[in-house]
């Protein structure tokens, strides 16, 4: 493909979208990525470590960011979404709305704007577990490495103060939403997943009990750049966490919530048990599961983590989580199915392994794509809109990469066949 060839649009700049983009661009295609967040990387950027190797997420992301930086055939827009899309394979017209960041490319991330800013907003990267200044860097490894001015302070004196504090003239308070119209030959739809809303599972106490977290929040609690700087402490009182109960299938495989298995949650909890066990050597971890799903190559990871004498794996469906008044901890109750006895365990922290829902679960874009009952994209027939990654099904990073690479090939085929 040469420069004159049609573009491929990638919607969603998570690991799947980024992979599809770099794979397509490295064959010579022109690629545009549209990402809703102010940074690329999606949910992977919010992980503390990846299973099975337990390396930090920056491992995989950094390499891809470099591939993007070095490839003039890729352009990307953050804080952007598709407004409208029409056409046919080989010839789509797309309108993209790019929302203002109020910060231009002069930004060196020096942080002078944040120093004078007093207003705070919930910290999105940490799932709202803490707050950040309304002039903020999305996270320490963010790409692009540029601040954002939250729209909450636009039009106020504080925003002007931030702009005046910037030594590089990088804050532009006059920025407005822009609409870009582009022609593309094919589209990769990689809008990913959201965690299931744990507050809907009333008996597990999320939202009522401060020491009940979701698995995605626990990733942030363990992260060095997370709300506690990686310290394992209880949100209620800052006490060091000595025991954690991981509750599997929190809402999953349950007709009242998510009827399906998300496939990665058991592996995620096994991984997360190592976070607490390594940080707090005299800690105990309990995993309450229906059955552990660690297929294929992940069996070895399961076997290795299981060796830890201070990790207990208990076949159980947890029925109730309440406050233990005496210790300030949480009482986890259910049934130990293997032993035929009751589970009654007091722990400092509970982590709910919530399932993955597609980004298209609530709003299904009216495009040439088919959806199942849960909103996952099941296929797109002969259309030039090719789904990739977790918008199709829950999957881990390795599977997302494979799927995205396949999607890139299909997109190239559609674009050259036009
Ligand atoms: C608790 C937990 C821990 C996990 N840990 C691991 C692990 O250790 N190892 C592993 O291999 N896997 C792990 N996973 C799975 C991993 O998170 C996924 O495989 C990965 O996030 C899939 O990437 P994706 O790009 O498909 O989706 P996402 O990461 O969700 O990326 C989608 C992107 O699309 C953007 N987007 C959404 N809608 C729009 C829109 N309309 N317009 C523009 N952009 C949009 C989003 O902002 C996001 O950036 C874990 C999952 C969970 C639940």
The model's pLDDT over 68-78, given as tens digits with 9 standing for 90+, comes to: 999 999 999 99
Q: Is the pLDDT of residue 6 over 70?
A: no
Mean pLDDT, residues 281-285 = 97
Task: Among 4-13, 45-54, 130-139, 335-344, name the one with the lowest average pLDDT.
Answer: 4-13
CA distances from 104 to 138, 148, 209, 211, 322 (A): 15, 9, 41, 40, 49
- Using the Cα atoms of residue 228, residue 232, residue 235 and residue 239 in order, give the sign of their dihedral: negative
Would you place residue 42 in the very low, low, confident or very high pLDDT band (cuts 50, 70, 90)? Answer: very high
Closest CA to ligand 1's atom 14: 396
Q: How high is the pLDDT of residue 381?
A: 87
Q: How high is the pLDDT of residue 12?
A: 98
User: Hey, which of 14, 40, 275, 353 would you mutate to test ligand 1's pocket, going by the most ligand atoms within 8 Å of its Cβ?
Assistant: 14
The whole-angstrom separation of Cα 294 and Cα 397 is 14
Closest CA to ligand 1's atom 6: 50
Any ligand 1 atom below 6 A from CB of 288: no
Q: How high is the pLDDT of residue 5?
A: 57
Q: Is the pLDDT of residue 1 over 70?
A: no
* DSSP string computed for 230-260: T--B-TTT-PBP-EEEEEEEESBT-TTSB-S
Neighbours of 327 (CB within 10 A): 11
371-374 long-range contacts, CB within 8 A, separation 24+: 374/258, 374/259, 374/260
C-beta of residue 79 within 8 angstroms of C-beta of residue 101: yes
Percent of the chain with pLDDT over 90: 93
Phi–psi pair at 92, nearest 5 degrees: -110, 140
E-only strand ranges, 283-384: 284-289, 311-324, 329-336, 341-347, 349-354, 356-358, 370-371, 377-379
Any ligand 1 atom below 6 A from CB of 390: yes
Domains and CATH numbers, the chain: 7-99+177-192+359-417 (3.50.50.60), 112-165 (no CATH), 196-355 (3.50.50.60)
Mean pLDDT, residues 27-31 = 96
Model pTM score: 0.96
Phi–psi pair at 119, nearest 5 degrees: -65, 140
Q: Is the pLDDT of residue 110 over 50?
A: yes
The ligand 1 atom at the shortest distance from the C-alpha of residue 193 is 30
């Amino acid at each position: 493909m040469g420069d004159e060839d049609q573009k491929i649009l990638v919607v969603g700049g998570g690991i799947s979208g980024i992979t599809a983009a770099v794979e397509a661009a490295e064959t010579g295609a022109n690629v545009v990525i549209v990402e809703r967040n102010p940074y690329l990387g999606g949910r992977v950027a919010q992980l503390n470590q990846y299973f099975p190797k337990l390396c930090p997420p920056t491992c995989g992301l950094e390499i891809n960011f470099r591939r993007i930086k070095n490839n003039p055939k890729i352009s990307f827009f953050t804080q952007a979404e598709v407004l409208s899309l029409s056409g046919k394979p080989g010839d789509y017209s797309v309108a993209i709305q790019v929302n203002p960041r109020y910060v231009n490319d002069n930004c060196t991330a020096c942080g002078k704007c944040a120093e004078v800013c007093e207003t705070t907003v919930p910290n999105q990267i940490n799932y709202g577990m803490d707050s950040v200044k309304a002039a903020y860097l999305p996270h320490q490894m963010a790409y692009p490495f540029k601040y954002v001015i939250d729209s909450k302070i636009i039009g106020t004196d504080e925003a002007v103060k931030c702009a005046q504090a910037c030594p590089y003239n990088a804050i532009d308070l006059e920025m407005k939403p822009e609409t870009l119209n582009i022609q593309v030959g094919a589209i990769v739809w990689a809008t990913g997943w959201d965690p299931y809303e744990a507050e809907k599972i009333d008996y597990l106490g999320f939202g009522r009990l401060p020491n009940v977290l979701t698995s995605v929040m626990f990733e942030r609690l363990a992260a060095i750049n997370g709300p506690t700087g990686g310290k394992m402490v209880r949100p209620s009182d800052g006490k060091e966490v000595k025991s954690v109960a991981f509750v599997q299938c929190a809402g999953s495989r349950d007709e009242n919530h998510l009827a399906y298995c998300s496939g990665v949650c058991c592996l995620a909890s096994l991984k997360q048990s190592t976070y607490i066990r390594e940080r707090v050597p005299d800690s105990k971890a309990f995993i309450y599961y229906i059955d552990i799903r660690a297929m294929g190559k992940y069996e070895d990871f399961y076997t290795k983590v299981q060796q830890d004498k201070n990790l207990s794996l208990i076949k159980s469906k947890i029925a109730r989580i309440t406050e233990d008044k005496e210790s300030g901890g949480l009482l986890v109750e259910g049934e130990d199915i293997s032993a035929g006895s009751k589970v009654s365990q007091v722990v400092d922290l509970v982590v709910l392994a919530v399932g993955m829902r597609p980004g298209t679960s609530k709003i299904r874009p009216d495009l040439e794509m088919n959806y199942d009952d849960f909103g996952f994209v099941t296929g797109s027939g002969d259309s030039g809109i090719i789904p990739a990654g977790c918008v199709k099904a829950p999957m881990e990073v390795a599977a997302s990469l494979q799927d995205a690479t396949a999607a890139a090939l299909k997109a190239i085929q559609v674009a050259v066949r036009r």
